Every structure is written in structure tokens, then in C-alpha cells.
Structure 1
């Protein structure tokens, strides 16, 4: 194999490695974004529940009158 062929083969190997690494990172970012979206929805739902609870005058945290 000539030196040029070896260099081409080495570059092809590096490109293949980088393509694989890029795909792995893309998959990871996609999965993280799905988790972030789920956390945002859950947080918004909890905030809404808390606001509704506060608006309805939920007194479950208050001390009973006989104390």
C-alpha cells in the first residue's frame, strides 16, 4: 500500500469514527430534550395545581381551631 493509500484509509477511519460519535451525541441530545420537555410539563402542572389549591382556600396546612 502506498503512503497516499494509507493516509486515505486513516482519514476514512477517522471520518467513520466522527460520524458514529456525532450520531451518538445527537441521540443523547434528543433523549435529554425529551426529558426536559417532560420535566417542564410536570412542573407547569404542579404550579397549576398549587395555584388552584391556593385560590380555593385549601386549609389543609392550617392548624385546627381547637389548638
Structure 2
């Protein structure tokens, strides 16, 4: 019985550790998504200011 209780205690600890890792990674992913969105906005602004025309994302490819 003691061996089972010890294994359960270890498993509970592992689940808690994994939960902490998942929570931390979720926060990191949220921060990275915000940074990517900001970078995309900046790139679009720079592209539209630099060319004074339609951004490349809105243009048709040259083979059309």
C-alpha cells in the first residue's frame, strides 16, 4: 500500500509540474502572438509608406 501511495504522490507532482509548464508556455505563446501581430502591422505600414501604392499582400502575383 505504501508503494502505491508513493507512486500516486509522484504522479501528482508530475501533473502539477506539467501544468506549470503548460501555463508558462501559454503565456509565452500569447506574448509571441502579440509581437508577431505588431511586427506585421509595422511591416505593412513601412511597405505602404515606402511605395505609396497598394501593399504587396494586396497585389496580384506577376503571373496573373
- Structure 2 residue runs without a partner (length 5+): 52-64
Offset of residue 57 of structure 1: 2.2
Superposition misfits of 4+ residues, deviation over 3 angstroms: none
CA RMSD, Structure 1 to Structure 2 (Å): 1.1
Per-residue deviation, 1:53? 1.0
The answer to whether structure 1 residue 55 and structure 2 residue 58 are counterparts is no
Greater C-alpha radius of gyration: 1
Q: Which has the higher contact order (CA 8 A, sep 6+)?
A: 2
> TM-score, structure 2 length as denominator?
0.74
What residue in structure 2 maps to residue 41 of structure 1? Answer: 34
Which residue number corresponds to residue 28 of structure 1? 21
Paired residue total: 51
TM-score, normalised relative to structure 1: 0.71
